[in-house]
Amino acid sequence: MIVSTNPATGTVVARFDPFTPEQVEEAVAQVTAAQRQWRDCPIEDRAVPLRKLAALLRERKTEYGTLLVEEMGKPLVQAEGEVEKCAATCEWYADNAATLLADQAVSLGISTNRVEFTPLGVVLAVMPWNFPFWQVFRAGAPILMAGNGMLLKHASNVPRSALALETVFADAGFPEGLFRTLLVEGGSVVEGLLADDRIAALTLTGSSEVGARLASIAGRHLKKQVLELGGSDPFIVLRDADLPYVAKAAAWARTQNNGQSCIAAKRFIVEEPVADEFARLFADAVGALAVGDPIERTTQVGPLARKDLVDDLDRQVQASRGEGATVLTGGERLPGDGFYYAPTVLDHVTPEMTVFREETFGPAAAIVRARDGEHAAELANDSPYGLGASVWSRDLEAAEAVGRRLESGLVFVNGIVASTAQLPMGGVKASGYGRELGGFGMLEFSNIRTVRVWESGTHPI
């Protein structure tokens, strides 16, 4: 069975039978047929259901927000914000796709030349549980607007969200079957789909390990891929930073979505002269966060999505404590029902320690001390990951100088790393390749085609 469990209570909310092979085949055939019609629709016509989709998301914001709370435990205010972000992204692509996908004329000789952006076909989307709606929409809005179809294999612990997504796309007026959800477990079905000639490409957000495995399979079948994988984002604090302000920002950067975000700050690399003060302010800010039932609007940190995630986070924290890290606040499971872990700050972390080497997926932060900005950049790059990074300083020139040395797909100066429809997002190294969002995210799943036309008899032979 595919099970939906409320992380705040640990109780099972719903169970679903996995799709049979016949149901999977029906879905693939349906998406394929729908996409063959959709690809010929003018871009302006494609925008109509996308705008309707945005309106439906806003109408159902509380309904869907509550669903996200019940299924993966994020605080309600953040869950409703996730739904609103999806709506805004739909609107941005509806408004801008015609420009982004417009033919580009190229002057060359006596021929008429242009670059076209045509659909690839059906895109298989393998999506994670931590942002059950946003992850799907940030891929789905540009994929569909580019004329493709989408087949969703969502994380198995958010089946109600996956089914709700299929429903809202249908309700918005997209062609029947253009967006389909598959309720399947394990990797065998996905591997089979990647071998299917009807699947044109793969977009995946998940762990580096899963990304590497599926990318190798997709590569054998010559399928285009976009991978957004793990991260261990550095949050660099230079010695002239506004420490009280930055400490509060750091607390939010680490604990938003209950600390379960690939682009959450995880390693807080601080110049030595201000490290003690930052550590004190940061620990106070994290310790003051309201932990509780995520359905309450005052809650800032809720449970982790699954019990095994609590187990893994506690392993990392206790291992690092044994390796010499100092716990300033938290550092333990919270008693009672549900999958709660105390927001945690570890100080005096060094590169050999577990919380430095591994990605932490939960509300645990590592403070690392750097001699200067150059050393801070070296520490930041001492990671297999390269997704996001931020640098905090009153001196913008110095901050940008550090930022230019960072190996990452995103660099923010005096701001928390976040995604937005208008700008591309993605990583380097073990954080993946390809880009989502912005114009680049739409072109990832377009056939960039060259067309040259000569008047009859004028081509040089």
Catalytic residues: 228, 262
CA distances from residue 44 to 33, 47, 161, 377 in whole angstroms, order as listed: 21, 5, 29, 46
Residues contacting residue 185 through CB under 8 Å, at least 6 positions apart? 2, 18, 156
* CA-wise closest residue to 282 among 334, 228, 243: 243
* Cβ neighbours around 105 below 10 Å, total: 10
The half-sphere exposure of 19 on its side-chain side, counting CA atoms within 13 A, is: 24
* Cβ neighbours around 384 below 10 Å, total: 13
* CA-wise closest residue to 412 among 429, 387, 431: 387
The half-sphere exposure of 98 on its side-chain side, counting CA atoms within 13 A, is: 11
Q: What is the dihedral sign for C-alpha 190, 194, 200, 201?
A: positive
CB of 302 closer than 8 Å to CB of 258: yes
The half-sphere exposure of 338 on its side-chain side, counting CA atoms within 13 A, is: 25
In whole angstroms, what is the distance from residue 444 CA to residue 434 CA? 7
H helix runs in 12-149, sequence order: 21-38, 43-59, 61-72, 76-100, 134-145
Residues contacting residue 251 through CB under 8 Å, at least 6 positions apart? 282, 285, 286, 289
Q: Which residues pair with 237 in a beta bridge?
A: 270, 392
CB of 403 closer than 8 Å to CB of 288: no
